[in-house]
Amino acid sequence: MSIIEIISNRHSYRGKYKTDRVPREDLIKIMEAGLAAPSGCNKQTTSLICVDDKGILKQIHAVIEPPIAETAPALICVLTQRINAYRDKCFAVQDYSAAIENMLLAIVELGYQSCWYEGHITDDDKICDKIAKVLNVPTEYDLVCILPVGIAENEIIAPKKKVFSERAWFNTFNSKE
Ligand SMILES: Cc1cc2nc3c(=O)[nH]c(=O)nc-3n(C[C@H](O)[C@H](O)[C@H](O)COP(=O)(O)O)c2cc1C
């Protein structure tokens, strides 16, 4: 698939995963794609922990309520550091978002599925902090997102998106050109 085809074939997958393990080689490729993303002033504020150990996966799922991606053979946990790029400008959110999108695309290219789980784990109950504790993450890092990785068992459903002309234009806002 070309990169454009991968982009249009990527959809958030929330179904069950097959039990097949994801080879380390593929997990490394996916994480490398994440780390290759641009970052504000090249501060590289994003770090990653990929969990593929069954015992640690079990400990993580024990703190996620309601449960998500319980059958995924691997989870990539995205960490961020609030380092300023210059003066008081911090681009950490943009940095990790770019890294996540790169990883989601790499995941699809390699034949796996995923979903950007951020809202679920960063809500008031702070599941993210509980996962960070399981993984011995130092306090200067925030765990902000988890990406399951695995082969989909169920159908991949494309969500409805607004039409192009409602969100993108040439030359001036809302132009009909
Ligand atoms: C910042 C952010 C947070 C998200 N958090 C969650 C989440 O907590 N749970 C979830 O099921 N999906 C989450 N998603 C996935 C979105 O729901 C999904 O991208 C959106 O519905 C569009 O679907 P698509 O990814 O298939 O294009 C999140 C996406 C983003 C960008």
Tens of pLDDT along the chain (177 residues) come to 999 999 999 999 999 999 999 999 999 999 999 999 999 999 999 999 999 999 999 999 999 999 999 999 999 999 999 999 999 999 999 999 999 999 999 999 999 999 999 999 999 999 999 999 999 999 999 999 999 999 999 999 999 999 999 999 999 999 998
* Pocket probe mutation, ligand 1, options 117, 127, 146, 157, max atoms within 8 Å of Cβ: 117
Number of H helices and E strands in the chain, helices first, is: 7, 5
Taking each helix axis from N to C end, the angle separating 92-109 and 24-35, rounded to the nearest 10 degrees, works out to 140
Q: What are the residues facing 50 on neighbouring strands?
A: 76
Task: Please name the residue whose Cα sits nearest to atom 14 of ligand 1.
Answer: 116
Task: Please name the residue whose Cα sits nearest to atom 2 of ligand 1.
Answer: 118
CA 21–ligand 1 middle distance (angstroms)? 24
Please state the atom number of ligand 1 nearest to the C-alpha of residue 158. Answer: 26
The runs of H, that is alpha helices, within the chain are 3-9, 24-35, 54-61, 92-109, 119-122, 127-134, 164-167
Please state the atom number of ligand 1 nearest to the C-alpha of residue 11. Answer: 26
Instruction: At 102, list the tokens.
Output: 């790169």
